[in-house]
Structure 1
Amino acid sequence: MNDLFLLAINLTRRCNLNCSHCYLDAETLQHGTEGELTTQEVKQLLDEVAGRSTDTMVVLTGGEPLIRKDLEQLVQHGTQRGLSIVIGTNGVLLTEKRVLSLKAAGAMGAGISVDSLDPTIHDQFRGCSGSWEKTLAGMDACRKHELPFQVHFSITKGNAAELEGMIDFTLSVGAHLLNIFFLICTGRGEKMSDITPEQYEIALTRIIEAQQKHPELMIRARCAPHYKRIAYQNDPNSSVTRAEGYEGGGCIAGTHYCRITPEGAVTACPYIPDEEGSIRQQPFLEIWDHAPTFEQLRNPTLGGKCGQCEYQILCGGCRARPKALGDDLMDTDPWCSYHPQGNTIIQPLADTPQGEIHWTPEAQQRLTRVPGFLRKMVKKRAEKHVAEQKQTTVTSEVLTELSSKRFGSNMPKRPHSPPAKEIHLVWTTEAQQRLEDTPHFLREGVRAVAEDVAHTEGRLEVNIQLLDRLENEDESGRKLNWSTEAEQLLEAFLAERQPQVVLFVKPTLESAAEREAKRRSAITVEAVDMQSIIDTQLAGVEWDADALQRVEGSPEFNRAGIKKAAEFNARREGLARITSEDLTRFRNRAMMKAVRRLRGFGMDELNFDAYEVAKQKVPRLKDNPQAEKRFSEIRSHVEQHQGEEGEGLGVLDRELLDQMRAELKKPHTNRNKS
Structure 2
Amino acid sequence: MTAPTTTDPAPDGRVRRPVRTPRHDPADRPLLVIWEATRACALACVHCRAEAAPGRDPRELDTAEATRLMEQVAEFGRPAPIFVITGGDCFERADLAELVRRGRALGLPVAVSPSGTARLTREALVVLREAGVTSLSLSVDGADAATHDGFRRVPHTFARTMAGWRTARELGLKVQINTTVARHDVEQLPDIAALVHREGAMTWSGFMLVPTGRGADLGPLTAAEVEDVLNLFYDLGQVVPVKTTEGHHFRRVALQRTVLERRGADHVAVLGLGPLYERLRARSIELGLLGAAERRRRPPISVSSANGFVFVSHTGTVHPSGFLPVPAGNVRTAPLTEIYRTSKLFRALRDPARLQGRCGACEYATICGGSRSRAYGATGDLFAEEPWCAYRPGKLPYAVDVEALLRSA
Structure with greater helix percent: 1
Relative contact order higher in (CA < 8 Å, ≥ 6 apart): 2
Q: Secondary structure at 1:150's aligned position in 2?
A: strand
- Cα contact 1:9–1:61 (8 A) shared by 2: yes
Q: Secondary structure at 1:235's aligned position in 2?
A: helix
Decide which of 68, 72, 81 is 1:48's aligned counterpart. 72
Whole-angstrom CA distance in 1 between matches of 2:42 and 2:71 = 29
Decide which of 132, 141, 150 is 1:106's aligned counterpart. 132
The residue aligned with 2:273 is none
Q: Which ranges of structure 1 fall in alignment gaps of 5 or more residues?
A: 352-376, 378-674
C-alpha change, 1:47 and 1:253, in structure 2 (3 Å) is: same
The residue aligned with 1:231 is 254
The answer to whether residue 357 in structure 2 is matched with residue 304 in structure 1 is yes
Q: Secondary structure at 1:112's aligned position in 2?
A: strand
Alpha-carbon displacement from aligned partner over 1:374-413 (angstroms, at most 9, x marks no partner)? xxx9xxxxxxxxxxxxxxxxxxxxxxxxxxxxxxxxxxxx
Whole-angstrom CA distance in 2 between matches of 1:52 and 1:268 = 16
- Cα contact 2:211–2:217 (8 A) shared by 1: yes
The residue aligned with 1:71 is 96
The answer to whether residue 120 in structure 2 is matched with residue 94 in structure 1 is yes
Whole-angstrom CA distance in 1 between matches of 2:404 and 2:345 = 23
The answer to whether residue 330 in structure 2 is matched with residue 278 in structure 1 is yes
Decide which of 22, 25, 50 is 2:48's aligned counterpart. 22
C-alpha change, 1:49 and 1:349, in structure 2 (3 Å) is: farther
Whole-angstrom CA distance in 2 between matches of 1:266 and 1:348 = 34
The residue aligned with 1:603 is none
Alpha-carbon displacement from aligned partner over 1:111-166 (angstroms, at most 9, x marks no partner)? 00011122122112112111111111111221222222121110101110011111
| TM-score, with structure 2 as normaliser | 0.79
- Cα contact 2:241–2:298 (8 A) shared by 1: no
Q: Secondary structure at 1:259's aligned position in 2?
A: strand
- Cα contact 1:311–1:346 (8 A) shared by 2: no
Q: Secondary structure at 2:113's aligned position in 1?
A: strand
The answer to whether residue 209 in structure 2 is matched with residue 195 in structure 1 is no
Decide which of 315, 321, 333 is 2:374's aligned counterpart. 321
Q: Secondary structure at 1:52's aligned position in 2?
A: coil
- Cα contact 1:91–1:139 (8 A) shared by 2: no
Residue 346 of structure 1, CA deviation = 4.0
Tell me the amino acid that sits aligned with residue 309 of structure 1: C
Residue 347 of structure 1, CA deviation = 7.2
The answer to whether residue 407 in structure 2 is matched with residue 350 in structure 1 is yes
Whole-angstrom CA distance in 2 between matches of 1:245 and 1:63 = 27
What is the number of equivalent residue pairs in this alignment?
341
Residue 176 of structure 1, CA deviation = 2.1
Q: How does 1:424-439 map onto structure 2 within 5 Å?
A: none
Whole-angstrom CA distance in 1 between matches of 2:138 and 2:74 = 26
Residue 350 of structure 1, CA deviation = 3.4
Whole-angstrom CA distance in 2 between matches of 1:347 and 1:107 = 40
The answer to whether residue 85 in structure 2 is matched with residue 60 in structure 1 is yes
The residue aligned with 2:23 is none
Whole-angstrom CA distance in 1 between matches of 2:90 and 2:339 = 24
C-alpha change, 1:35 and 1:347, in structure 2 (3 Å) is: farther
- Cα contact 2:116–2:158 (8 A) shared by 1: no
Tell me the amino acid that sits aligned with residue 33 of structure 1: D
Identity of aligned pairs, percent?
29
The answer to whether residue 386 in structure 2 is matched with residue 333 in structure 1 is yes
- Cα contact 2:311–2:322 (8 A) shared by 1: yes
Tell me the amino acid that sits aligned with residue 134 of structure 2: M
Whole-angstrom CA distance in 1 between matches of 2:372 and 2:404 = 19
Alpha-carbon displacement from aligned partner over 1:259-298 (angstroms, at most 9, x marks no partner)? 0000000000011111111111111211111111111111
Residue 349 of structure 1, CA deviation = 6.5
- Cα contact 2:370–2:386 (8 A) shared by 1: yes
The residue aligned with 1:546 is none
Decide which of 268, 276, 279 is 2:320's aligned counterpart. 268
C-alpha change, 1:310 and 1:61, in structure 2 (3 Å) is: same
Residue 174 of structure 1, CA deviation = 2.4
- Cα contact 2:29–2:76 (8 A) shared by 1: no
Whole-angstrom CA distance in 2 between matches of 1:181 and 1:51 = 30
The answer to whether residue 59 in structure 2 is matched with residue 35 in structure 1 is yes
Alpha-carbon displacement from aligned partner over 1:400-436 (angstroms, at most 9, x marks no partner)? xxxxxxxxxxxxxxxxxxxxxxxxxxxxxxxxxxxxx
The residue aligned with 1:207 is 233
| TM-score, with structure 1 as normaliser | 0.49
Q: How does 1:394-543 map onto structure 2 within 5 Å?
A: none
Q: Secondary structure at 2:206's aligned position in 1?
A: strand
Structural RMSD (CA): 2.0
Residue 77 of structure 1, CA deviation = 0.8
The answer to whether residue 105 in structure 2 is matched with residue 80 in structure 1 is yes
The residue aligned with 2:3 is none
Residue 305 of structure 1, CA deviation = 1.3
Q: Which ranges of structure 2 fall in alignment gaps of 5 or more residues?
A: 1-26, 263-296
Whole-angstrom CA distance in 2 between matches of 1:139 and 1:176 = 11
Q: Secondary structure at 2:30's aligned position in 1?
A: coil
Q: Which has the larger radius of gyration?
A: 1
Alpha-carbon displacement from aligned partner over 1:594-624 (angstroms, at most 9, x marks no partner)? xxxxxxxxxxxxxxxxxxxxxxxxxxxxxxx
Deviates further, 174-183 or 187-196: 174-183
Residue 52 of structure 1, CA deviation = 2.7
C-alpha change, 1:99 and 1:84, in structure 2 (3 Å) is: same
Q: Secondary structure at 1:13's aligned position in 2?
A: coil
The residue aligned with 1:136 is 162
Q: Secondary structure at 1:149's aligned position in 2?
A: strand
